[in-house]
Structure 1
Amino acid sequence: MKRKLSILLALVMILSLALPMMAGAETVSLAYKNGSLHLRKGPGTNYGSNGYVRDGDYITVLSKGSVWSKIETSAGRIGYIKNLYISGNGANYADGTSYFGGSYTGYVVTKYSGSSVNLRAGASTSTASMGQLRNGTKIKILGENGNWYLIETASGTQGYMSKTYIKSSAGSSSSSATQYATVTGSVVNVRAGAGTQYVVKTALTRGTTVKVLEKTTSNWWKIQWGSYTGYMSANYLRMK
């Protein structure tokens, strides 16, 4: 009887320790999957860093302000991050984003010179604005999510912008410009479909240049090499 009681008490203690983590169901949600963000010592970028939080980290919100919230990480570090990076429903800004095997240059293009476009936290106008970029601003294009590009500004801020407002450095639309990539794996299969379950059509060695026809949301790119057209994992491709 005493042994059963001891086991029961131990279970109660374990559950009581787990409850705070369950209560703090919020997670860090960033534009770039597995990206990181400064945990600030105060509510502003002018405050020093208390380390980093990463995309998907579980956090507890200690107090919520209009722009910044005071949080505690699972490791017990306390600091501040912007509210737009906190997700209470498990949603993640990076969900559905396909990442290019590198980055290429683009420019913000608006209808009127001097006007600006919102840089969004996610690939939707319903997500928070992270600021605005003016017509002609040079940016890096890192990936895509539907009709949105994941971009990075000169200051290192990453967010999403509608493809409508971005053109490549060549001056043509980034969505229609011919794109090429280099194979980075030693020997990589080209498959008939976007997945390892599809038959292998050929294999390409490191350094081979291919034409990128389509970047799918499943992280497989449709490519062309000579007379071969097929799919290759984006993990083994780097944009030229």
Structure 2
Amino acid sequence: VRGVYIHSVMYDSKKLTSMSKSAYRNLGQNVSHGCIRVLPHVAQWIFYNCPPDTLCSIVKNRAANPVLVSQLKAQIPDYGSYPQPTDARPDPIEVPATVRFDNTPVRTGFSNSRDTTIATLKAGEHVMLLQLANDWCKVRTAAGKLGYIKSVYLLCDPDNVQLTTGYKATKKTYVYAGMDTGSERLATIPAGGQPNVSENPQKGWWYGEYNGALGYMRTKYVQQSTVFVFPALSTIPTAVTTADGSTTATVSGTAAYIAAGIVANMRSMPSTDGIIIAELASGTSVTLLSLEGNWYYCQAEGLTGYLYKDCVSAR
């Protein structure tokens, strides 16, 4: 529910023995900034039984029902008596994804009024998807930050996650300007980060790239491992029609405009069944990001969506 979260009582650390006493004792009180807090085993049930896009009805400003409040409070044991839920199931699978275009914001949540931008990513950068939904995905960036990105800004294939042999950081480490830990740190590689290694110039050191930074990495902390394969942004030339009727080759990122004499519907999917996101007048500037069949995935007036290719002309 946009900006209103349902989550368990908070913990002081990642250990199940560190459940916050004050948060537990304040269950039912209006102290959670609009969030709904529940007991850990209830949150666990929601996680496994309510998939993304499950609709929840939240009624605000309704007077409390004394009988219901009493019944709910009776179900809350003393702090020391609460048995932590156990879980032998494997962790949910993470999905590798690639950012579609520049200036993609990573948000603290998905409410425009309550949340802020904590990072801005470039086209081609990689993130891991921790939770997927139609509108937003929870992600972990290459720098280790957690946040939310609009789903349409990401390229991924959740049903075809592939692995290969590559390199992974076993703990937080760095890309150095030279083969010396005293040299300049060009980038931080978080635990689990996947740098690209190109050579082994000296014992104890790799040379390669991470997050756009070229330099040296310690072999002690960057080791060969099984890693995710991230989807590649399309760079295959496509063709758009120019104003004189001829065609020209273009690639992702090409500037174009809405053809003369029409109003084009930008849609949420590459089909006339897609929801109309915006009506774009003739001459409106458009940035082409990729081609899917007869539809361009593009950016215009701060929005992203799909335009039928006959509606678009090259500059």
Fold equivalence (TM over 0.5): no
TM-score (norm 1): 0.28
Report the structure number with the largest CA radius of gyration.
Answer: 2
More strand by share: 1
